[in-house]
Structure 1
Amino acid sequence: MELFNQNIILYLAAYLIAGIPFGYLLAKQFAGVDIKNEGSGNIGATNVLRVVKEKDPSLAKKLGAATLFLDAIKGIVVILAAKMLGAPESVLWTIAVLAVIGHCFSAFLFFEGGKGVATGFGVLLVMMPIPALIAIAVWLGAGKGLKISSLSSLIGLIAFLIASYILYPEVPGIGSHAPIWVIALIITYKHIPNIVRLFKKEEGKV
């Protein structure tokens, strides 16, 4: 019963911590901008960069980088904390999924949120370091070449899925790629407006 209660606390903590809208808070505090009502309305690093750039390009880069870092770190922290408490792989993967859900559907923003890329790669970096590093390298390379954040993120996500199957035909501790697919589907779902704009050739560059 005590272990069950610990898991429930970990699940709740993962959802709430990952739900902290760092992009929204940073833009509001340091640039006086409500990014939920500006640009794409997203709370992620790309929208912070785009919106704040109109006022202060130098500040925009700093806030965009800080948002990206903090959104990734909150995913990393919740997994590492659970690891320190001896949580099994099945619990860690559940926490990973809940962290992405928390970021994308934040309780602090009436269940709205970001697209889950940074937080998703954060949790996956802990759970599957090598596939995650491959995905991040592909993401950065695509971003530099294409300069389209959404497309680069989706390409990075595909790279992770492929690498995870090659390196881990059976996921240690659970034997299934199911939680990875849940994370991938959430991120893809949050990118639907971007995908539509990509097909219409209307997606903006960074």
Structure 2
Amino acid sequence: IPFGLILAKFFAKTDIKKEGSKSIGATNVLRVVKEKNPKLAKKLAIATIILDFAKAAIPLLTLKFLHYDQALLWSVAVLAILGHCFSIYLLFEGGKGIATGAGAMIVLLPLEVLTAFIVWVVIGKIFKISSLASLAALLAFVVSSFIFNYDLEIHTHAPVFIIAFIIVYKHLPNIKRLIFKEECKVI
């Protein structure tokens, strides 16, 4: 479910798929809606983060509560992120996976998500560039997954790498803009 797109259309009467970065995530909601209504932009961006986070966290918490095995939980995590990044509702377009990924990973690797969040805040405060902060947080997450959980219960870090690959792939345009110093400051 593309929450950013729905919230921006419903409350701000704006199609974020046609403006800004054309992404459906919170950063583009903030960027596009801010031009028309700064107070509403912050509220919609926060709501987008919460809903994108919850769309992965709630199913995983439910499965964990019902004592399903780790392999299923990791599969659902990867599929939630794939579904967000390549939404069938948007002809396989979508968001970049940061909030949904955080929602999935907070259930499976909470200490690593905390580490990533701290990195995101620090990089965001220093550089004010959401994509840079997100990519740095992703790197911190992957590295800390080996430090804190060298041997995951599923005996592989493959899902961590799959999730990281999806998120990096969705950030390729941002990476290009970062290299050429054209990426916008948003945070």
* Superposition TM-score, scaled by structure 2 size: 0.98
Partner of residue 5, structure 1:
none
How many residue pairs match? The answer is: 186
Aligned to 2:110: 129
Alignment correspondent of 1:153: 134
Give distance in 1, aligned partners of 2:148 and 2:65: 25
- Kindly report which structure 2 residues correspond to 1:10-159, keeping only aligned pairs within 5 A, or say none: 20-159=1-140
How many angstroms does 1:140 deviate by?
1.4
Displacement, 1:84? 2.6
Q: Which runs of 4+ in 1 moved over 6 A?
A: none
Give the Cα–Cα distance (whole angstroms) in 1 for the partners of residues 29 and 23 of structure 2: 8
Provide, for residues 113-152 of structure 1, a one-character-per-residue CA deviation record: whole Å limited to 9, x for no partner: 0000000011111101101111111111211111000010
Q: How far apart are the structure 1 equivalents of 2:156 and 2:81?
A: 18
The Cα offsets for residues 90-115 of structure 1, whole Å up to 9 and x where unpaired, read as 00000000000010001111111000
- What SS does the aligned partner of 2:135 have? helix
Normalising to structure 1: TM-score of the pair?
0.89
Corresponding residue for 2:164? 184
Unaligned runs of 5+ in 2: none
Q: Distance in 2 between matches of 1:68 and 1:144?
A: 18
**Root-mean-square deviation (CA), in Å?**
0.7
